[in-house]
């Protein structure tokens, strides 16, 4: 029996895998990727990777990290 996945399901699965791979990178590696946003290399990647894959991914500028949780457990 052949499993056939809808295109939207495949895109979602790939986006989730990309997110997980990014999270598994070190903070330094994540910053390298962020620092290259808008570079010639990043623009070339956008030309070869389908736009619908990028559509569900959140991007932010290098050095613009969200604040870590600051609850009672962190004090």
Determine the pLDDT at residue 75. Answer: 44
Using one digit for the tens of pLDDT, what is the confidence trace for 16-72? 999 999 999 999 999 999 999 899 999 999 899 888 888 767 766 656 555 445 455
pLDDT of residue 7: 87
Domain ranges across the chain? 27-62
* Degrees to nearest 5, angle at CA 31 with 26 and 37: 140
Say what the pLDDT of residue 71 is.
53
pLDDT at 21: 93
The band of 1, judged by pLDDT with boundaries at 50, 70 and 90, is very low
Running DSSP on this structure, what letter comes out for residue 65? P
């Amino acid at each position: 029996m052949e499993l056939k996945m809808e295109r939207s399901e495949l895109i979602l699965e790939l986006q989730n895998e990309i997110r997980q791979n990014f999270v598994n990178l070190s903070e330094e590696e994540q910053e390298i990727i962020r620092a290259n946003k808008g570079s010639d290399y990043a623009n070339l990647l956008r030309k070869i990777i389908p736009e619908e894959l990028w559509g569900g991914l959140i991007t932010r500028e290098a050095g613009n990290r969200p604040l870590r949780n600051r609850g009672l457990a962190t004090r």
